[in-house]
Chains A and B, each alone.
Chain A
Amino acid sequence: MAVAALALEDITVTFVSQDGARYTALRNTTLRIAPGEFVSVVGPTGCGKSTLLNVAVGLLQPSAGRIRVFDEPLAGLNRKAGYLFQTEALMPWRTALQNVTAGLEFRKTDPSQAARQAGNWLQRVGLGGFGERYPHQLSGGMRKRVALAQTLILDPQIILMDEPFSALDIQTRQLMENELLELWSANRKSVVFITHDLEEAISLSDRVVVLSAGPEAHPIGEFDIDLPRPRDVAEIRLAPRFIELHTLIWRAMKNEVLKSYARQQKQ
């Protein structure tokens, strides 16, 4: 097998709270992403999906296990990765344009060149005339686009996305998913896409990984998605093969979702 863009090997993450209580979010999780591959990770709520991404980007040190980025062990933050957060991550005191230039500014790129590039990126995400707006003057979908441009302008080799579209309404969401696919296929990077929405996972990905219910979540199934590209996320949901895959993966997921639900009821 070729060198993986991102390899999480045998990762275990145990949180210890101040009163000594231990919670193992992930146990012995192994995940490899090839260069240019689009992988979705699905699982019931609270199964440690976000923990997995935080480990991959270097925000969180795993209790055990190794992380390799293009075969280099990861130390500190993952400099090859971009991260799209589930919640608002834009700096509210910067305009859309200034938010997009932030990464270049931190890297001391020439300001006029940075502004030109950012202008281009805003246009690519469909926000050409909105550079001077502040985040609070933009809608939720527009803010997500700004965040996407903010991440992609740095041309990361690996893009990590933590339920980035979960707060959007269904129409905006499908628009964003199609745009994401378009941007991705123009310049294929490795993507790890976290979601709890199985349809979203299948319609976007090359491969879907199913995590078990937490605590001690671990992958319980992997499915190659052999749907043809380019795809339209709204149309592909009607394809017979899509429905077959959905049934197959849902069968694997169902027990875990029920387990997770039962545990939440007990609490």
Chain B
Amino acid sequence: MPGSRSNRALRFWQAVLFLAFLAFWHVATSPTLLPAFYFDNPHKAAFFFGEPLKVLARTWDWFSSGTIYPHLWVTLLETMLAFVIGTALGLAVGLWLALSPTSSALLDPYIKALNSMPRVILAPIFGVWFGLDIASKVALGVTLVFFIVFFNVYQGVREVSYTVLANARILGASERQLLRHVYVPSAMSWVFASLHNSVGLAFVGAVVGEYLGSSRGVGYLILQAEGTFDINSVFAGILVLTAFALLLDWAVSFAERRLLVWQPRGGETEKM
């Protein structure tokens, strides 16, 4: 198939680009390969930018010795909890406000204010309220996830087709059945459209929370490494975070494909 062939070529060039980047990083920071052209000391480039081979070695070390697993587990647990709680709250409040115009009109300015507030700044307060354990990180993630889901659900309910709604009513749906069979499915498609965003932000909430004060987690590892000017470990931490962010994103895409089969996709042909 020509499609998969050009796809394979694309993957190949993407890998080449990545290796070229690593090679450039390695050559530019190695104390021995090139004379120092910017810094007065050949070791300074490695001090500021780390060395890719050492970063990879450190990452390998973490995984082979197993020291990373408890930290990674904590960060992923915080992400998952923030994502689940934030989505559930956003769904509930979004449905409630969308179906109750009075409450929606009453709360409108406060929701706008809360949404435009830079919520990362709440992290220290959550630290005080919920302690330095996972609860404060989950709380931060929830505030980030909640608004994305909330606005999408609100919009989703507002955009339910009048005809579909009227048709369900005429077919005999009660108000509760309308909620379950029309409003929620319609809102869910908007929630799924925002899943990538909300999972990403749950992750951000967890890592930023850890970075600002914690005793476990990948953010904590990075903070520790930074405290001892161990740039290679900082980059190793960033590498691990990026890899897991990609993994989460992929998991979301997978869930999306499974759960939104009813939505038309571009260029879909008949399946015989």
Contacts and interface: CB of A to CB of B under 8 A. Distances in A.
Given A59-B166, A89-B163, A91-B168, A102 B261 contact: no
Interface stretch (B14-22, B147-155, B171-179, B237-245): B171-179
Contacts of B174: 106
A137 interface: yes
B263 A136 contact: yes
Contact of A91 (B182, B261, B268): B182
B170 A90 contact: no
Given A88-B163, A102-B181, A106-B177, A136 B170 contact: no
Interface residues of A, number: 30
A90 B173 CA distance: 14
Interface string B244-272: 00000000000000000111100010100
Nearest to B165: A89
B169 A77 contact: yes
Interface residues of B, number: 25
Interface stretch (A78-86, A207-215, A256-264): A78-86
A266 interface: no
Contacts of B169: 59, 77
Given A91-B182, A134-B262, A137-B270, A85 B172 contact: no
Contacts of A151: 171
Nearest to B172: A106
Contact of B171 (A92, A95, A150): A150
B235 to A, nearest CB: 45
Contact of B167 (A81, A89, A95, A134): A89
A151 B161 CA distance: 18
B3 to A, nearest CB: 22
A7 to B, nearest CB: 19
Interface in A135-192: 135-137, 150-151, 154
A91 B166 contact: no
A234 B161 CA distance: 35
A81 B153 CA distance: 32
A57 interface: yes
A93 B170 CA distance: 18
Given A88-B163, A89-B166, A106-B172, 13 more contacts: A78-B170, A81-B170, A82-B170, A87-B163, A92-B164, A93-B185, A93-B189, A95-B262, A106-B171, A106-B174, A136-B263, A136-B264, A154-B171
Interface of A: 57, 59, 77-79, 81-83, 85, 87-95, 102-103, 105-107, 134-137, 150-151, 154
27 contacts: A57-B170, A79-B172, A83-B167, A83-B170, A87-B163, A88-B161, A89-B164, A90-B164, A90-B167, A91-B181, A91-B182, A91-B185, A92-B164, A92-B262, A92-B263, A93-B186, A94-B262, A102-B168, A102-B181, A103-B172, A105-B181, A106-B168, A106-B172, A134-B262, A136-B262, A137-B268, A151-B171
